[in-house]
Amino acid sequence: MSRYIIEGGRPLEGCLRIKAAKNSVLPLLAASILTQEKVTLQNCPQISDIKNMLKILTGIGCVVERDDEGNITIDPKDLYCEQIPCVLAKELRSSVFLMGPMLSRMKKAKISYPGGCEIGMRPIDIHLSGLRELGIVIDEESGYLDCDAAGAHAAQILLDLPSVGATENLMMASVFNKGTTVLRNCAKEPEITDLQNFLNAMGARVSGAGSSMIVIEGVNKLHGVTYRPIPDRIIAGTYIIAAAMCGGNICLEGAIPEHISSLIAKLSKTACKISCKNDKISIRSKGRLKSLERIDTMYYPGFPTDLQTQMMALQTISRGTSVIAENIFETRFKTVPQLIKMGADITVRDRTAVVRGVPRLHGAQVSATDLRGGASLVLAGLAAEGVTEVKDIYHIDRGYEDMAPILSSLGAKISRTV
């Protein structure tokens, strides 16, 4: 089993370019089957979540090509299977995104309940409720969802929560429905807007993404497109936090500062110096930072839950005490025992963590429990004294491409070993 070996205590210096966002590429890949023409997505990272999605697409009849520059081409012309293989669906929670486009294209879909990180309950009830309001018949039997969209129609739908996945799924399920579908209480994340722009580039008529109400006017068909997804705001945020923890001066190119404005606002309250110009973000950090009094994860544009554990790692070595409230996923503190092994002082009660900063962390043998938690352990190892071994890094591989080479290029001493 692969693991990272990290010798901490080195500042980070240099530049890196941000690739396309995992959380955009996955729904865009799913949406590619809405047409019978070729679709190309540019600048995509080599990560296991995307590899698994491509396996699923291949398994249902798509022809997939990928070049060395990160361009993925999907030819969905000969789509023949409406069932997603159980073993692949269990590996990838984002397989649920295929429900909407499969129902739009083939009028039938059969999928097992999806997998992914174990960071708390992420029920797909909101997806299923919305699909049923679109006239889709869903039979839940023996761990499978057997869906029939023969009677699908436009509808007015109010989401119980602003779920990103449900918003995206319902957008894709509605593109061919005759009439106008209106989704209310939608998620506002940049990835939602990216999906809207992608669908519209294919000939769809979708408006309102980025607000709480999205309107989909049904069309008869979509065409192929070449599209460049938005850069990954969580990857950008992770490396910014790494520089804040380790000290040094790094520059991120190809980023969109507005997408992580909540993180930039938080770090600007510490001794970090952050500057943004066009698609570049620069961060300079020196010495021990001041703790942030409170961090509350919220739906976008609030502070993202996907950066919460990385910020917790930063707070463990900051001066003072920080209170972190996790308002999205109820078990996103699973990494806390691992950070405590490294010398962190953290107390958790329900969805709140109190982090009392210590002068330094020390190297230890720790295990990743999920994608973002694993990244936070790498960050902690970079800033710790001594050697840290991070095991179970297959979690990290789900969302971070070449993490060790990238950090090494910035001056970190980190290697991947089996």
- What string of DSSP letters covers 301-317? TSB-GGGHHHHHHHHHT
In terms of DSSP bridges, do strands 72-75 and 39-41 run parallel, antiparallel, or are they unpaired?
antiparallel
Tell me: the pLDDT tens digits for 298-337?
999 999 999 999 999 999 999 999 999 999 987 789 999 9
Let me know: does 28 contact 41? Beta carbons within 8 Å. yes
pLDDT over 80 at 31, yes or no: yes
pLDDT of residue 11: 97
Q: What is the largest CA-CA distance in the chain?
A: 63
pLDDT of residue 120: 42
pLDDT over 80 at 39, yes or no: yes
In percent, the amount of the chain with pLDDT more than 90 equals 86
- Give the confidence band of 116 by pLDDT, cuts at 50, 70, 90: very low
pLDDT of residue 93: 64
- List the beta bridge partners of residue 366: 390
Q: What is the 3-state secondary structure (H, E, C) of the chain?
A: CCEEEEECCCCEEEEEECCECHHHHHHHHHHHHHCCCCEEECCCCCCHHHHHHHHHHHHCCCEEEECCCCCEEEECCCCCCCECCHHHHHHCHHHHHHHHHHHHHHCEEEEECCCCCCCCCCCCHHHHHHHHHCCCEEEEECCEEEEECCCCCCCEEECCCCCHHHHHHHHHHHCCCCCEEEEECCCCCHHHHHHHHHHHHCCCEEECECECEEEEECCCCCCCEEECCCECHHHHHHHHHHHHHHCEEEEEECCCHHHHHHHHHHHCCCCCEEEEECCEEEEEECCCCECCCEEEECCCCCECHHHHHHHHHHHHCCECEEEEECCCCCCCCCCHHHHHHCCCEEEEECCEEEEECCCCCECCEEECCCHHHHHHHHHHHHHCECEEEEECCHHHHCCCCCHHHHHHHCCCEEEEEC
- Give the confidence band of 85 by pLDDT, cuts at 50, 70, 90: low
Number of Cα atoms under 13 Å in the Cβ half of residue 394: 10
| Alpha carbon distance 321, 201 (integer Å) | 48
Tell me: the pLDDT tens digits for 268-291?
999 899 999 999 999 999 989 999
Q: Rounded mean pLDDT of the chain?
A: 94
**Average pLDDT of the segment spanning 120-146:** 83
pLDDT over 50 at 220, yes or no: yes
H or E stretch including 69? none
Q: What would the two tokens of residue 117 be?
A: 């990180």
Neighbours of 225 (CB within 10 A): 19
- Give the confidence band of 91 by pLDDT, cuts at 50, 70, 90: low
pLDDT over 90 at 124, yes or no: no
**Average pLDDT of the segment spanning 47-54:** 93
Catalytic residue among 15, 62, 86, 117: 117
Known catalytic membership, residue 44: no
In percent, the amount of the chain with pLDDT more than 70 equals 95
pLDDT over 50 at 121, yes or no: no
pLDDT over 70 at 127, yes or no: yes
Domains, the chain, ordered by start: 3-18+231-417 (3.65.10.10), 22-227 (3.65.10.10)
| Poorest-pLDDT segment among 92-96, 161-165, 222-226 | 92-96
**Average pLDDT of the segment spanning 382-395:** 97
pLDDT of residue 97: 81
pLDDT over 60 at 156, yes or no: yes
